[in-house]
C-alpha cells in the first residue's frame, strides 16, 4: 500500500508573512496537495524544537516551519532564532532516527503564494519517497 501513502505535514506559519503566503496560495487557487495542516504562530522564532519533535512522534510525517525572510521579521530577529533552532532540530531528528527531509525551514513572504504551493508540493513528493514516519501508529 506504499503507493497509496499520503503524508501528513504540520506547518507552523508566521502570522505576518508565511501565513499570508499560504492564504494567497489559497485565494489565488494555486494547486498544491491537501496534505498540510497549518498552525498559525505569531513568529517562526516561537516554534520550540519540542513542538516539532512532538508532531513527528505523534503522527505527522513531516514538519514545515515557514517564516519571514531574514531582515523582514516583525519581531526583529525571530526568524534568525528559528534558524538557530533548526540546527538543534536537525540533531534531534538524528537522535530520534528520523530522516532530515522530514523537517524543512522556509522563508515565505505574504506575496509568495506560488512559493508556498511549491514548497508544499516538493515536501509531499519527498515524503512520499521516504514513506510513513516510523512513529506513525497503525
Q: What is the pTM of this model?
A: 0.96
- Describe the strand order of the beta sheet including 9-14 as a list of residue ranges: 36-41, 9-14, 62-67, 103-107
Alpha-carbon distance 29 to 55, whole Å? 28
Would you state the cell numbers that stand for residue 55, as one nine-digit string?
508532531
CB 111 within 8 A of CB 24: yes
Would you state the cell numbers that stand for residue 105, as one nine-digit string?
525551514
Q: What is the pLDDT of residue 1?
A: 43
Give the right CATH number for 2-129 from 1.10.357, 3.30.70, 3.40.50, 3.30.450.
Answer: 3.40.50
| pLDDT (tens place) for every residue of the chain, 138 residues total | 456 899 999 999 999 999 999 999 999 999 999 999 999 999 999 999 999 999 999 999 999 999 999 999 999 999 999 999 999 999 999 999 999 999 999 999 999 999 999 999 999 999 999 999 999 875
Q: How many helices (H) and strands (E) does the chain have?
A: 4, 4
Would you state the cell numbers that stand for residue 82, as one nine-digit string?
528559528
Would you state the cell numbers that stand for residue 32, as one nine-digit string?
498544491
Amino acid at each position: 500500500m506504499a503507493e497509496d501513502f499520503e503524508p501528513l505535514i504540520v506547518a507552523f506559519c508566521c502570522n505576518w508573512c508565511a501565513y499570508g503566503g499560504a492564504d494567497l496560495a489559497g485565494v489565488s487557487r494555486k494547486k498544491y496537495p491537501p496534505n498540510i495542516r497549518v498552525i498559525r504562530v505569531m513568529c517562526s522564532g516561537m516554534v520550540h524544537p519540542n513542538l516539532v519533535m512532538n508532531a513527528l512522534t505523534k503522527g505527522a510525517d513531516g514538519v514545515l516551519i515557514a517564516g519571514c525572510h531574514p531582515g523582514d521579521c516583525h519581531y526583529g530577529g525571530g526568524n534568525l532564532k528559528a534558524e538557530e533552532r533548526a540546527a538543534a532540530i536537525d540533531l534531534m531528528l538524528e537522535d530520534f532516527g528520523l530522516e532530515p527531509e522530514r523537517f524543512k525551514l522556509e522563508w515565505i513572504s505574504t506575496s509568495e503564494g506560488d512559493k508556498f504551493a511549491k514548497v508544499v508540493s516538493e515536501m509531499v513528493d519527498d515524503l512520499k519517497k521516504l514513506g510513513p514516519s516510523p512513529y506513525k501508529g497503525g
